[in-house]
Amino acid sequence: MPEHTVKAFDEDITHLRGLIAEMGGLSELAIQESLDAMVRGDETLAAEVVKRDRKIDELHTEVDKLAVRVIALRAPMADDLREVVAALKIAGVVERIGDYSKNIAKRVGKIEGRDRFEPLTLLPAMGDLAAEMVHDVLSAYAARDPLLAKEVIAADDKVDAFYNSIFRNVVSYMVENPATISSAAQLLFVARNLERIGDHATNVAEMVHFAATGTYPPDEDD
């Protein structure tokens, strides 16, 4: 894309994209580390995830301010306008993704007898899928790639399927091991958070598609 005649405009847009990329990197890391902490029972790591979420919140505020400033001072048009509006919305969604990871981290200390607690082993694979969606959608954002965005949207079905399977597994585990119900319920929330992360990555993908093409991707299944 050719540069703007006013160079400072390009600098603002680049800065905005940099902030979103940084938020995305941190939220991706938070998913992985919160699950790592959950599986290993590492409360120090969990505390770190919780603490680092503040940085994501700060970046979100910074994106809001910069986007509003760009709209006010530069009056962006066409794909520039879509880019800035998408950045505003994407930052809000990525911030939510960070919150879900924080929520997972906060549950680390609430799992009892984790050595004998089988359902824990189901989580990492689902976490990897969700983290991959977040990773891919931010790559799509960085490359303004609507096709990759569509692939991310398609991947959400896998996360949903995983969630349903974990749900059934954990519920049957609860039936067989009533003493673990409290811990198992915690796990259901964790799986639920990962499922929500997948949904949010899908929302980001739709905005990436909109920013790049001016249209929302067609609904595939409904």
Partner 1 sequence: MVTIVHPNLEDTDAKMSARGVSVYYGDKKAIDNVSIDIPTKYVTAFIGPSGCGKSTFLRALNRMNDTIPSARVEGDIMLDGEDIYRSKMDVVQLRARVGMVFQKPNPFPKSIYENIAYGPKIHGLADGKDELDAVVEKSLQRAGLWNEVKDRLTDSGTALSGGQQQRLCIARAIAVDPEVILMDEPCSALDPIATAKIEELIDELNGRYAIVIVTHSMQQAARVSQRTAFFHLGNMVEYGRTSDIFTNPQEERTKDYITGRYG
d(CA 83, CA 101): 26
Shorter beta-carbon distance to partner 1: residue 103 or 213: 213
d(CA 59, CA 219): 31
Residues near partner 1 (CB under 8 A), total: 17
Work out the burial of residue 80: count CB atoms within 10 Å of its CB; fewer than 13 is exposed, 13-18 middle, 19 or more buried.
Answer: buried
d(CA 166, CA 60): 32
3-state secondary structure of 145: coil
Shorter beta-carbon distance to partner 1: residue 13 or 38: 13
The footprint of partner 1 on residues 15-74 (CB under 8 A) is: none
3-state secondary structure of 117: coil
The footprint of partner 1 on residues 65-104 (CB under 8 A) is: 75-82
d(CA 112, CA 179): 10
9 is a site residue for partner 1 (CB under 8 A): yes
Q: Whole-number minimum distance, CB 88 to partner 1, in Å?
A: 15
Q: Whole-number minimum distance, CB 5 to partner 1, in Å?
A: 5
Shorter beta-carbon distance to partner 1: residue 77 or 116: 77
Shorter beta-carbon distance to partner 1: residue 5 or 121: 5
Q: Which residues bind partner 1 (CB under 8 A)?
A: 1-6, 9, 75-82, 214-215
